[in-house]
Amino acid sequence: MGFPGTWMTTSESVVYRVVPKCACSSIGQIMYYTDNGRYFDGDIHDAKNGLHKWALDESQAFISSNIKQHKSYTFTCVRNPYTRILSAFFDKIAGIQRNGKRYRGKLVPQLAHAYGIEVGSPEDGFDFDQIANFRRFLLFARDTIRFRRPMDPDIHWSPVSGHVSTLIHGGGRYDHIFFTEKFNDGMRTVLENIEMKHPISVEEVPRFNESEGHGPKRVHPVEDYFDDLSRHLIWEIYHKDFQLFRYDFDDPSNKLPMGEIDLDEVHLKLGASAP
C-alpha cells in the first residue's frame, strides 16, 4: 500500500505523515521553507516540486527507501476529535472552497436530500442552524466510517489513528507525534532535530489556514454542538483517537490533551490493527 499522505523534504531532512485538519498547511510550508528559503506561493497541497509527496510518482521511490531505512526524523501531528470534526464540517460541508465551488461537487446537495442537512450560502450570509445541521452531518460521517455508506469516508473526517497507522504498516516508525493544540512546542522539537538548509524559527512562521474566510464562522462554544447522542457517535468513531492521543472525551470544552503520547503504545496498537 506504500506510504499515502506522506511528505518529505527534497533534502530528505525530515518525513511527515500528513493528517488533514491538523495544521498540515503550516507544517508543509515550514518543510518547504527549510529546503527552499521561501514559502510556496499558494496552497502547499498544490505544490508539484520543492517537496517530495507520495502522490507524485517521481517521489515514491525516495520516500519509500527513506522510511523503510528510517534515514530521517519522522513525525506527525494530531488534534482533538471534537474540534477536528467541527473544523471539517465548517470547512468542507458548510464552506466554499478556494475554487469558489462546494467541496466534492454534488456532496452537499446529496446530504441535503439524504440527511436533511442545510448549510446556507454566501448569498444569505450562511444563515442556518449550526448545531442541528452539524449533528446531522455527524450521523453521515459515522455512516461513512462504520458502514462506508453512502460513500467511503473522507480523509478530512476519517480517524486520525487511521492516517497515522499507514506509515507504521508500511514499516516506518515515528520519532515524534505532537499536538495541534501545542503547535509551537511540537514543531520546535522537530526543527531542533533536523538539519535545515534555511533555518527557521517556528515563532516567525505565519499561520497558513487555506480554508479561512471561505465559509461561516462557528458561533457557539464547542461543547454546545455535542449532546448525548452526538457524543455517543463521536466515541463510536474516534475512541481510538481519544485513547492513543490522550484527549478528554468527557469534556468537549477541553481541547487540550490530558497527557503525553506514548510512542511505543502507538506503534504497538496501530501496528497490530488493520490499516
If you write DSSP's letter for every residue of 119-157 in order, what string do you get?
A: ---GGGTS-S-HHHHHHHHHHHHHHHHHH--SSPPPTTT
On whether both 25 and 135 belong to a single domain, the answer is no
Percent of the chain's residues with pLDDT above 90: 88
On whether both 143 and 230 belong to a single domain, the answer is yes
Gap between the Cα atoms of 250 and 241, Å rounded: 14
On whether both 12 and 137 belong to a single domain, the answer is no
**Lowest-confidence region among 32-46, 90-104, 143-157, 191-205:** 90-104
Q: For the residues 209-218, what does the mean pLDDT come to?
A: 72
| Assigned domain for 258 exists | no
Q: For the residues 16-27, what does the mean pLDDT come to?
A: 96
Residue 270: pLDDT band with limits 50, 70, 90: very high
| Assigned domain for 259 exists | no
On whether both 69 and 110 belong to a single domain, the answer is no
pLDDT of 22 = 96
Backbone angles phi, psi at 260, to 5 degrees: -85, 155
Residue 156 pLDDT > 90: yes
Torsion of CA 265, 76, 253, 95, to 10 degrees: -140
Residue 272: pLDDT band with limits 50, 70, 90: confident
Specify the higher pLDDT residue, 207 or 123.
123
On whether both 24 and 132 belong to a single domain, the answer is no
pLDDT of 275 = 46
The distance of Cα 186 from the centroid of its chain, to the nearest Å, equals 15
Gap between the Cα atoms of 229 and 76, Å rounded: 31
Q: For the residues 262-272, what does the mean pLDDT come to?
A: 95
On whether both 103 and 176 belong to a single domain, the answer is no
| Assigned domain for 272 exists | no
On whether both 108 and 179 belong to a single domain, the answer is no
- Mean pLDDT (the chain) is 94
Q: For the residues 28-32, what does the mean pLDDT come to?
A: 97
On whether both 174 and 56 belong to a single domain, the answer is yes
Query: Residues 94, 219: contact at Cβ < 8 Å?
Result: no
How many domains does one find in the chain?
2
On whether both 146 and 226 belong to a single domain, the answer is yes
Residue 192 pLDDT > 50: yes
| Assigned domain for 261 exists | no
- The residues with which 154 forms a beta bridge, in sequence order, are none
On whether both 119 and 142 belong to a single domain, the answer is yes
Residue 274 pLDDT > 80: no
Residue 122 pLDDT > 90: no
On whether both 15 and 74 belong to a single domain, the answer is yes
Residue 84 pLDDT > 80: yes
- What 8-state DSSP symbol labels residue 202? G
pLDDT of 66 = 98
Query: Residues 61, 2: contact at Cβ < 8 Å?
Result: no
Specify the higher pLDDT residue, 211 or 156.
156
On whether both 12 and 121 belong to a single domain, the answer is no
Residue 211: pLDDT band with limits 50, 70, 90: low
| Assigned domain for 14 exists | yes
| Assigned domain for 88 exists | yes
Q: Which domain holds residue 16?
A: 6-80+156-204
